[in-house]
């Protein structure tokens, strides 16, 4: 792995659980696949071959089992941001080891760099897809006090859990749908007006939305079940839909004409 500038980052000792479970990330990837421009789709295919964005979306979490220092330490902080005060992310909020916003910026630069290797571009693309999904999970824009809701212990339908897990997967899995079924269901409800309105490639805007939602989702009770799911499922599904549309919007922007010479992205 030749990400020298990333491997040189200080190491992080602890990290919260992943944002969105596999189903959630695959939903955002599948929705993104449906909204790619022709040019972006061609560039994605050049880098990933038959791997679609639903598969790419979970790859950075799948690799957390790799024992190398890159995955166990260096890459750990690239899934979330901490916003200590206020409603908006500031670069000063980032710790020395970096965060999701820093990683998104650097991986985006790699995708736009005609000198970057195919291997590095492929890694960068998978991370960009994943990070955009992460930034739409409200507990991945935490305030630094409870590890993104991981320390908020509760029961979910009688089983021990925590608030982060409920938003990662609990509410999603309650639907008992495959990711493709869920993505198709949500996609049918996305209007052309919403696609236009959500066509926002400013990651700071996504984080601000997540912060605003995060402040409303902490429960007063510790035993959560149907009432909590009913109350917050619409907001959760809205974040999945926006995340998918914005993955596509961001890739469409990154891969716009002239941004990445096709020759530099040819699969080997």
148, part of any domain = yes
How many residues belong to the chain?
A: 268
pLDDT given at position 259:
55
Distance (Å, whole) CA 167 – CA 115: 39
Give yes or no for residue 258 having a pLDDT over 60.
no
| Largest pairwise CA distance in the chain | 56
Number of domains in the chain: 1
Give the domain CATH number at 192.
1.10.575.10
How much is the pLDDT for 86? Answer: 76
* Mean of per-residue pLDDT scores for the chain: 88
Asked whether residue 180 is domain-assigned, the answer is yes
Q: Which two tokens stand for residue 121?
A: 């571009």
Query: Rounded CA gap, 255 and 63, in Å?
Result: 25
Is 11 part of a structural domain of the chain?
no
- The H or E element containing residue 25 is helix 22-33
Query: Mean per-residue pLDDT for 63-90?
Result: 79
* Domain-embedded: residue 4: no
**Model-wide pTM > 0.85:** yes
Count CB neighbours of 197 within 10 A.
11
Confidence class for position 111, pLDDT limits 50, 70, 90: very high
Decide if 7 is inside a domain.
Answer: no
Q: Which domain holds residue 62?
A: 16-265
Distance from C-alpha of 241 to C-alpha of 261, rounded to nearest angstrom? 30
Model confidence pLDDT, tens digit, residues 114-173: 999 999 999 999 999 999 999 999 999 998 889 999 999 999 999 999 999 999 999 999
- pLDDT confidence of residue 252: 97
Res. 14 pLDDT band, cuts 50 70 90: very low
Separation of first and last alpha carbons in the chain: 16
Question: Is residue 10 situated within a structural domain?
Answer: no
């Amino acid at each position: 792995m030749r990400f020298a500038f990333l491997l040189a980052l200080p190491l992080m000792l602890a990290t919260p659980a992943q944002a969105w479970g596999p189903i959630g990330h695959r939903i955002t990837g599948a929705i993104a696949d449906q909204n790619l421009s022709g040019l972006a789709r061609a560039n994605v295919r050049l880098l990933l071959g038959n791997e679609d964005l639903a598969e790419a979306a979970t790859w950075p979490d799948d690799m957390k089992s790799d024992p190398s220092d890159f995955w166990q330490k260096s890459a750990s902080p690239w899934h979330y941001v901490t916003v200590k005060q206020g409603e908006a992310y500031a670069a000063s909020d980032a710790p020395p080891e970096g965060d999701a916003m820093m990683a998104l910026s650097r991986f985006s630069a790699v995708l736009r760099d005609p000198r970057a290797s195919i291997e590095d571009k492929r890694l960068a693309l998978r991370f960009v897809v994943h990070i955009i999904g992460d930034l739409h999970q409200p507990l991945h824009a935490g305030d630094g006090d409870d590890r993104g809701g991981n320390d908020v212990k509760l029961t979910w339908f009688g089983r021990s859990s925590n608030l982060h897990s409920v938003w990662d997967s609990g509410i999603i899995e309650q639907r008992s749908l495959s990711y493709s079924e869920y993505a198709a269901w949500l996609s049918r409800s996305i209007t052309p007006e919403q696609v236009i309105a959500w066509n926002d490639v400013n990651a700071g805007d996504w984080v601000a939305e997540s912060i605003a939602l995060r402040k409303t989702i902490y429960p007063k009770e510790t035993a959560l079940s149907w009432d909590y799911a009913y109350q917050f499922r619409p907001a959760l599904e809205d974040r999945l839909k926006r995340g998918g549309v914005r993955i596509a919007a961001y890739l469409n922007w990154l891969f716009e004409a002239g941004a990445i010479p096709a020759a530099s992205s040819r699969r080997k």
